[in-house]
Amino acid sequence: MTVLVGLMSGTSLDGITAAVARFTEDEHGRISTELLAHVDRPYDAATRARLAAALQGATPSEYTRLDFALGGWLADAAVAALAECGVARADVAAIASHGHTVWHEAPLGTWQFGQPAVIAERTGIPVIADFRVRDVAAGGQGAPLVPIADALLFADDMHWRVLQNLGGIGNLTLVPPRTATGVELAAVRAFDTGPGVCIIDGVTRVLRPELPYDVDGRLALQGTAIESVIDELLADPWYAAEPPKSTGRERYTAQFIAEFITRCRTARAQCSDGDIVATACWFTARSIALAFERFIPQPVGDVLLSGGGARHPVLREAIAMTLAPRHVQLFDRVFFDGDAKEAVAFAFLGWLHLQRRAGNVPSATGAKGPRILGAYHPA
């Protein structure tokens, strides 16, 4: 049994998640995980604005300072998660930190910051970071990286399963049923589907600056989606492009958000704020449905939703309706709290690194082959 801490700061800019997970491998090679604790550290408005500004461009000084500051925030979250479950630092094999993506433009490059040396100094625990870089260097998209965890930890024993993440960006993993010899990684397919909550959150923050996101879906519940806007946006060739593919904030920028709002107001007279947020929800759901229609011919038994968007009632209902008759349910109902899933996945990537095993799935990222991911920073 090995304990690691996984750290995640996602593209939704909502905050940091730290998860403490224990991994066990039996004599047949089947790996299981137990979530011991997780904590969420929301960003305050000033920090969120600082990160958002950095994504649009900042000075070398600001990037350097923010890199070190984020390393400190990540370290604090790791310490808080360990305190939550009472695990001693000496009993932790490593901290696996995804950091925060500043820019992702595979195959040209990818950049995550949250200085791992700071995390190691603050915690006294070895840190594994920079997971995406090696896959991109090997010709891959560097994303998504959670498929290895989806396949080896969360496969079903009977049927094909899709795990749909709804962070800032949406991504899915198609996993074949587990057999006596394990999961056939070559059959795993994974790719970004488009927006997760980045457009929903983005328009909400512009329309209602006092809100960090559409709390409890209240705005979307008051509106109706504008289908013509959704149809126009889904005509973007990116959605028809064959996987492997990835995207990020470099596509769904502040300018995209502003233009989205303008499109809605132009398309409908007396367009309400609720109409705009509802349109963002249904656009997200239909982008996911389009991915299923074009790229998922397998008979999927169930679809498990995780990430912040899984808590949004309108988005969740829209996904269930557009993916019917497939059974759509929350990841929580089958495993553990879905808010911790991505952090656990990166803890697992850290575990694989320590085992000197590949962490990427080439059929998902398009890399030239399996690669051990991450860079090791001693305590």
pLDDT digits (tens, 9 = 90+) for 38-61: 999 999 989 988 998 888 889 999
Average pLDDT of the residues in 111-127 = 97
Q: What is the pLDDT of residue 143?
A: 86
Indicate the average pLDDT of the chain.
Answer: 95
- Domain ranges in the chain are 2-143+338-377, 147-333
Q: What is the pLDDT of residue 309?
A: 95
Q: What is the pLDDT of residue 60?
A: 94
Domain at 147-333, CATH class: alpha beta
Average pLDDT of the residues in 84-108 = 94
Dist CA 98 CA 88 (whole Å):
22
The domains spanning 2-143+338-377 and 147-333 adopt the same CATH topology? yes
pLDDT at 264 over 90: yes
Average pLDDT of the residues in 145-163 = 96
Q: How many CB atoms lie within 10 A of CB 227?
A: 13
Q: What is the pLDDT of residue 45?
A: 87
Q: What is the pLDDT of residue 257?
A: 97
44 HSE (CA, 13 A, CB side): 2
pLDDT digits (tens, 9 = 90+) for 278-318: 999 999 999 999 999 999 999 999 999 999 999 999 999 99
Dist CA 375 CA 342 (whole Å):
19
CA dihedral 341, 14, 249, 364 (to 10 degrees): 0
Q: What is the pLDDT of residue 26?
A: 92
Question: What residues pair up with 213 in beta bridges, in sequence order?
Answer: none
Quickly tell me which residue has 């000197």 as its tokens: 356
**pLDDT tier for residue 105 given thresholds of 50, 70 and 90:** confident
The answer as to CATH 2.60.40.1120 being correct for domain 2-143+338-377 is: no
pLDDT at 144 over 90: no
| Residue % of the chain over a pLDDT of 90 | 87
Q: Which residues contact 59 (CB under 8 A, 6 or more apart)?
A: none
Cα–chain-centroid distance for residue 42? 16
Dist CA 98 CA 80 (whole Å):
17
pLDDT at 136 over 80: yes
pLDDT at 12 over 80: no
